Chain A
Amino acid sequence: MPSKGLLLRILEHDTGGKIFLSLLAVVAVLVSVLNLAVPEGSPLHVSTYTVTLLGKYLCYALLAVALDLVWGYCGILSLGHAAFFALGGYCMGMYLMRQVGDRGVYGNPDLPDFMVFLNWTELPWYWFGFDQFWFTMLMVMLVPGVLALVFGWLAFRSRVTGVYLSIITQALTFALMLAFFRNEMGFGGNNGLTDFKELLGFNLQNDVTRVGLFLISALTLAVAYFVARYVVNSKLGRVVVAVRDAEDRARFIGYKVESFKLWIFVFSAMLAGLAGALYVPQVGIINPSEFSPLNSIELVVWVAVGGCGTLYGAVLGALLVNFAKTYFTGALPEVWLFALGTLFVVVTLFLPHGLVGLLKRRRKKATLNEAPT
């Protein structure tokens, strides 16, 4: 258990982080109370639908923090980060499928419905262990982590950088999407994994479970934020930024640049996997479209809109863009993709440091105006 002093020390000089974490705490408590304690029909009641929607946003925010670590701090523009998110999600999905047990349509106690439908007679080896929660949680971090390790080791060792690296990460997620679409892969093909019943014995349709998942998402986001802040404040964080700004210089003063890139890439992939695992029980489905290249690009837009290289900017961007997405896809569905594209162009051209950069500039101007001459 970290002491209070340590937590405060990590947040030193991080005003944005303090504001974000305080708001997160207030919203988490308020939303939970307004859902559980205020009766339905009251104007103050927050619907379970909203709670789950917010929980989903928090998972996106965690994913955005993960991307910000590699993109904002290390300069690696990964256009395949949603792949790690989806892999974490699939791990959780497999656990939830095993939890269904014999309550599926075919009533087979060992095989998920889609396997029965495919006339499979036994569980593939890679499904073993996923009936255990601890094993699942381990895999949620390990599977994305190992993929990132292998992929990153090959890419960074060959000194693939810049746009080439972005392209191969995009290819990675695309290849995974195609693979997961195949029924023979044993992950439910096209339909993915769905019809989940319960998590650790808690019914997923229950309001209390929903609020619980939302609170756990909030808590995980907060803890991940602290850990990420610790990392970027450490000397390792400064080396990573040094690699971003002057890779050769970092090499010539004795840093094995590849190892630092690999470390932050794997760490980020694990966070993304965790976000995916929290996401799946809340939305109730995971399918290959989560690997779609567009998802990874949208993720980059969130971070760019919020402002990369600050961590809290990524959270802000993820929340704002997704609120907008929910609103637009409901009110004006055909406009959304155009709006997203325009947003990215506008941010790139006029707000190179995102909304956070804009706020900082405003504040600087204000203090300059107030300063006595």
Chain B
Amino acid sequence: MNPLKLFGTGRREQSRDTVGAQRHTVISGEVDVSHGPILYLENVTVSFDGFKALNELTLYIDDGELRCIIGPNGAGKTTMMDVITGKTRPDSGTAFFGQTMDLTRMSEYEIASVGIGRKFQKPTVFPRHTVFENLELAMRADKRVWPSLWGRLDGQQRDRITEVLETVMLTGQQALRAAELSHGQKQWLEIGMLLMQDPRVLLVDEPIAGMTHQETERTAELLTGLAGSRSVVVVEHDMAFVRSIARKVTVLHEGHVLAEGNMDEVQNHPAVIEVYLGG
């Protein structure tokens, strides 16, 4: 697959239009979103030693939407991301990427390479690599062994890294080891790595933990800017932040969806009030 094929938002819109025109061919490695949703989770159950982390969870994420997922601790938010990214296999239920790709049968690296990127709750970067190298490693490219041995960065790829360095405001730090960054900068670097992967779906777990007010605002700007050309799923505890970016919010509770809608609908939902305020 041409690594540059999915670069840039304009081209992607175009390809979506042609799919929308009912040209329904299955292309291997290409996600089929002709019915609207890009992620389909249906009746997913995951239990750990009898505890049901996910309980018949059914959730659809539309192509290009920005979805916030909230819920108390233990509601299953992280487990849901684990199922989507292949880290955890569901006991029952299905998880599909587009119409055709069965995520429960794919391994982590395959899921990543078809276009699902993930940012962890705790910022996870490669501490001994420089900021630049972190971005280079994340870049959408042929990630098999032999091409990695012979491959060299070309000008276009360097430009892309420079561009992302600017977006995440780490241009001055590109030669620093990632371990030397502040917590907020590490969060940014991880977001940058996510951008380098150029995924169709971004799963973002608590992106603003440890960020200053300005950094938070900038994150909100960035995430809302990405939506439209990509789907963005944000798990976050900070309600003010969720309110500032959310169009559609899903409340998870005890492993299934409690309520779904815009922020106001969700906040006035009786079941949500009961869970959050204890009745």
Contact = CB atoms under 8 A, between A and B. Distances in A.
A300 to B, nearest CB: 21
B116 to A, nearest CB: 9
Size band of the interface chain B makes with A: 20 to 34
Contacts of A256: 107, 109, 143-145
Contacts, number: 77
A263 B150 CA distance: 14
Contact of A252 (B112, B136, B144): B112
Question: Which of A250, A252, A256 has the most chain B CB atoms closer than 10 A to its own CB?
Answer: A252
B137 A251 contact: no
A249 B126 contact: yes
A238 B153 CA distance: 13
Interface in A224-257: 231, 234-236, 238-239, 241-242, 245-246, 248-257
B125 interface: yes
A243 to B, nearest CB: 9
Nearest to A256: B109
B120 to A, nearest CB: 8
What's the dominant secondary structure at chain A's contact region?
Answer: helix
A259 B129 contact: no
Contacts of A253: 112, 117, 137-138, 143, 193, 197
B144 A235 contact: no
Interface string B115-126: 001101000111
A241 B128 contact: yes
Contacts of A250: 126, 137
Given A234-B148, A238-B136, A256-B109, A249 B125 contact: yes
A245 B127 contact: yes
B179 to A, nearest CB: 9
B43 interface: no
Interface in A263-320: 263
A151 interface: no
Contacts of B136: 235, 238
B109 A254 contact: yes
Nearest to B139: A253
A251 B149 contact: no
Contacts of A231: 149
30 contacts: A231-B149, A234-B148, A234-B150, A235-B148, A236-B145, A236-B148, A236-B149, A238-B133, A238-B136, A239-B148, A241-B128, A245-B126, A246-B125, A248-B108, A248-B124, A249-B124, A251-B109, A252-B118, A253-B112, A253-B193, A254-B109, A254-B197, A255-B109, A255-B143, A256-B144, A256-B145, A259-B144, A259-B145, A260-B145, A263-B145
Interface of A: 231, 234-236, 238-239, 241-242, 245-246, 248-257, 259-260, 263
Given A235-B148, A253-B137, A254-B143, 11 more contacts: A234-B150, A235-B151, A236-B145, A236-B148, A238-B137, A239-B148, A241-B128, A245-B128, A253-B117, A254-B197, A260-B148
* A-B complex: 8 closest residue pairs judged by Cβ atoms: A254-B112, A236-B148, A251-B108, A254-B113, A236-B149, A235-B148, A256-B109, A249-B124
